[in-house]
Amino acid sequence: MNVTVNGEPREIGDGATVASVVEMLDVAPGARGVAVAVDGEVVSRGRWAQTELSEGSMLEVVAAIGGG
């Protein structure tokens, strides 16, 4: 199925979860300062593995950077 990750179209397997997309981005499982929203709703880290995505899901995967 097709989803959008940080503005880029991605094809992922059926039943893929937030955790599998995060892993696809080479984020270490315990990486700090990373958060995810799916369709504008924040998915807490504890729910990444059980949150399945659906066709057309929009994911934003963010990380800490320097900023004022």
Tokens of 31: 């990486």
Which distant-in-sequence residues (6+ apart) come within 8 Å of 61 by Cβ? 5, 6, 21, 22, 25, 27, 34, 35, 36
Q: Pattern 26-55, binding to another protein, x per CB under 8 A?
A: xx---xxxxxxx--x-x-xx----------
Nearer to another protein, 10 or 14 (CB): 10
Should residue 68 be labelled a site residue for another protein when binding is judged by CB under 8 A? yes
Count of other CB atoms within 10 angstroms of residue 28: 9
Nearer to another protein, 13 or 66 (CB): 66
Residues that bind another protein (CB under 8 A): 6-7, 25-27, 31-37, 40, 42, 44-45, 60-68
